Structure 1
Amino acid sequence: MKIPKLVFLIVIPCFWSCTNKSVFEDPKPLNPDKLPHVEQMLVPAPALPEHDQVAKGGPVVVEVTLTVEEKKIKIDPITTFWALTFNGSVPAPIIVAHEGDYVQVKVVNPKTNSMMHNVDFHAATGAMGGGDLTEVAPGQEATIRFRVTKPGVFVYHCAPGGAMVPVHVASGMNGAIMVLPRNGLTDENGKRVTYDRAYYVVEQDYYIPKDDQGKYKDYNTPAEGFAEMIQAMKTLTPSHIMLNGKAGALLNENAMLAEVGEKVLFVTASCNLDARFHIIGGHADLVWNGGSFNDRPATNYETWDVPGGAAVAALYKFRQPGTYAFVDHELIKALVFNAVGHVKVGGNWNNDLMMEVEKPHASE
């Protein structure tokens, strides 16, 4: 008697590799002049500009303006600093577009400024990230357009050349751009995931020289302190490390807000230092390591890494109310410096997730 052959069908899940195009495929060229142009109003961190999570229709040209402002800011109660900024804020604002869109950036350097500036976009394709095309002296402006072909989150920063690159970056001239997939974000199983709120958090390092009395120096012009600032930078030891540019930028009345049950997207970045972000009492349900939305997100992280010169997105569904500390878990940065913020979450407490079994009392 013949025994029938058994045929086994092996089904291999391919949520990502079987559906995504190759990274070597280039998009079909379009004529940007014939596409809709959409002006995006940029806003200071931690907010993101108004945007759709899923693209409506085909590619568009997203128009933004970055205006350089050299200004004194108070970064803590005892330190005033000449910040070099885009649009007046540290960090510079985040730009949002969809994969396949064009981003058209006008860079304006008012004649009231004292030095040349430009922008290197890590999301752009082309030598120097557009830095050579956006060099503007005081009183000049330039416009660049580039296509965003890789979905993810990316850094941009001023890069005027030589030692002035880290000086300008460490003076606040760095921001981010988020390039969403046209069909929106997907979870670890390739299913659509949306966020109820989004926040943009950047770790900023400063290198402010001290005088003979140990007080932080205050200069009359930005350039006056550059030589001493470069010497301070050579130690690789920041004088200040802060979230979103100054002490308390994300604390108390400036805290990020959420409600129990909401999914919150955090776009985190650091232009110089490696950072290790952690929500005390929470987690990252999804982390897009390396900032790439084209890859399957990792799940259930306690702490996520952001390499210097990069941005990384993380998403968390808050399940309990309370005030959560949002920190760099290199805790010296968080608690000796100022790399700490708050997320205030409203809603009802869930005893199944955590409850007090016995109040503190004298031990027997």
Structure 2
Amino acid sequence: MAAAGCIGSSSNEGNQEEPSDGEQEDGGLESAKSVDVDRIAADPTDVPAPVDWSEPRTHELEIETTERTAEIEPGVTFDYMTFGDQVPGPMIRVRRGDTIRLTLTNSTESAVVHNIDLHAVYGPGGGADDTMVDPGQSATIEFTAMYPGVHVYHCAVPDMDMHISAGMYGAILVEPEDGLPEVDRELYFGQNEIYTNGAPGEEGHHAFDYDAMQNEEPTYVTLNGEAYAFTENGYGPVTVQKGETVRIFHANGGPNLMSSWHAIGNVWSKLYRDGSLASEPDRYVETTPVVPGSVAAAEIDTPVPGPIKLVDHALSRVVRKGMLGVIQVEGEPEPEIFNPDP
């Protein structure tokens, strides 16, 4: 994947010998590591099907916590922590009143303890107190989804800010008893900050920087854990057809920064603020705050073809730190709505 809008890329000059994997470069970063997975960014189209049952049911869920080396952007490696080898972790989708029996397993390859705090849980630590698992161990909890909404889940060990920054967050959607209005398509994204000892675009292995995190000065602000992943220079835009109504779930893992969530060239035609599904949505909102530890749900209409750019309107994060994704609307022009050459 080639990054869009990178700055500060470094290169070896002359005949200088490149360091071997993990070896410290003089005055710079370690060289990029070999990756464990080719892609850490979750597929935005991988959304569970809408609820189609009318009575409470029980779900058996299994999630594995892993620690993987992958690229933030080409030539830039980082040691991620994940739920299920992806950022954000898999979306969980249930109905209000359902019972969830969740087993969390910490990979035998992990170096540290992990757990899970689900904001949809009435219980100590949102389940975190009872899912603290060492490498190679598992724990199971059971809970009833008592209230509707779309909520964050995340790792909540004492070092939780670092674990979340490294990728350990996701979303759990609890649909109301009557379900959600039907749409043509649903997408799932996550935003988080990554704090490293390098500069954006600086090639090599970026180690985690605790001081930068404490100062809330991220190297990257990413969509699904990678810089510019869903652009022409990444995995490509997400493609939809003109006229489709698209619902987007946007989880802000944080751990620190509020997102000013905006769709360039569009508007949130329906907005469920803070993931609240218990009341009528707001209409035609241009930009909305998504605070750390929350998930926004919004719908967009697609009356004209062209790119819709999903951004944090704190725009330096877009231009310099990686926070950009594109939805490409395909179809015939609609000059009565938008005419680029009148």
Q: How far apart, CA to CA, are the structure 1 residues paired with 2:264 and 2:304?
A: 12
**Structure 2 counterpart of 1:263, from 217, 226, 245:** 245
Q: TM-score, normalised by structure 2?
A: 0.82
Distance in 1 of aligned mates of 2:318 and 2:59: 36
Residue 103 of structure 1 and its aligned partner are, at CA, apart by 2.0
Work out the CA distance in 1 between the residues paired with 2:121 and 2:43: 22
The match for 1:233 is: 213
The CA deviation string for residues 5-41 of structure 1, in whole angstroms up to 9 with x for no partner, is: xxxxxxxxxxxxxxxxxxxxxxxxxxxxxxxxxxxxx
Give unmatched runs, 5+ long, in structure 2: 1-40
Matched, 1:201 2:201: no
Aligned to 1:134: 131
Larger Rg: 1
Please point out which of 294, 306, 309 is paired with 1:325.
309
Alignment-derived partner of residue 21 in structure 1: none
More displaced stretch, 254-263 vs 112-121? 254-263
Instruction: Give me the whole-angstrom Cα distance separating, in 2, the residues matched to 1:89 and 1:320.
Output: 32
CA contact (8 A) 2:90 2:171 kept: yes
The answer as to whether partners of 1:209 and 1:216 remain within 8 angstroms in 2 is no
Alpha-carbon distance between aligned partners in 2 of 1:241 and 1:78, rounded to the nearest angstrom: 17
Letter in 2 for 1:44: A
Residue of structure 2 in register with 1:94 after alignment: 91
TM-score by length of 1: 0.77
Alpha-carbon separation, structure 1, partners of 2:102 and 2:230: 28
Relative to structure 1, is the Cα distance of residues 356 and 96 closer, same or farther in structure 2, using a 3 angstrom cutoff? same
Identity of aligned residues (%): 31
2:249 and 2:307 map into 1 onto residues whose CA distance is 19
The CA distance in 1 between the partners of 2:340 and 2:198, in whole Å, is 48
Q: 2: distance between equivalents of 1:123 and 1:86? A: 17
1:165 equivalenced with 2:160 (yes/no): yes
Q: Which of these residues, 129, 145, 150, is aligned with residue 148 of structure 1?
A: 145
Query: Of 232, 242, 246, which aligns to 2:222?
Result: 242
Give the CA deviation at 1:296: 1.5
Structure 1: runs of 5+ lacking an equivalent: 1-42, 186-192, 220-224, 359-364
Matched, 1:58 2:49: no
Q: How many residue pairs were aligned?
A: 297
Work out whether residues 45 and 94 of structure 1, in 8 Å CA contact, stay in contact via their aligned partners in 2.
no
Contact kept in structure 1, 2:267 and 2:300, CA below 8 Å: yes
Provide closer, same or farther for how the CA distance between residues 216 and 233 of structure 1 changes in structure 2, counting only shifts above 3 A.
farther
Task: Kindly state the Cα deviation for residue 357 of structure 1 after the two structures are TM-superposed.
Answer: 5.0
Spell out, residue by residue over 1:280-329, the C-alpha distance to the aligned partner (whole angstroms, 9 max, x if none). Answer: 11111100112110021100011122111111100112111112211111
1:90 positional shift: 1.4
Structure 1 132/166 Cα, relative in aligned 2: closer, same or farther at 3 Å? same
SS of the residue corresponding to residue 310 of structure 2 reads strand
Which runs of structure 1 show a deviation greater than 4 angstroms over 4 or more consecutive aligned residues?
214-217
8 Å CA contact retained: 1:67, 1:86: yes
RMSD: 2.0
Distance (Å, rounded) in 1 between the aligned partners of 2:229 and 2:62: 24
Residue 205 (structure 2) aligns with:
218
Query: How far apart, in 1, do the equivalents of 2:237 and 2:93 lie?
Result: 22
C-alpha distance in structure 2 between counterparts of 1:326 and 1:49, whole Å: 18
2:48–2:92 CA contact under 8 A, matched in 1:
no
* Aligned equivalents of 1:239, 1:143: Cα separation in 2: 36
- Which secondary structure does the structure 1 equivalent of 2:55 belong to? coil
Secondary structure at the residue paired with 2:130?
coil
After superposition, what is the alpha-carbon deviation per residue over 1:209-252, rounded to whole angstroms, capped at 9, x for unaligned?
249xx967738xxxxx56xx222212110011111111232222
1:98-145, CA deviations, whole angstroms, 9 ceiling, x for partnerless residues? 111122221111222111100000111112000011010011011112
CA–CA separation in structure 2 for the residues paired with 1:63 and 1:256: 31
String of CA shifts for 1:321-359, please: whole Å, max 9, x gaps: 11221111111111111110010111222122111454x
Match of 1:284 in 2: 268
Note if contact 1:208-1:217 (Cα within 8 Å) is conserved in structure 2: no
Match of 1:296 in 2: 280
Q: Find the counterpart in structure 2 of residue 124 from structure 1.
A: 121
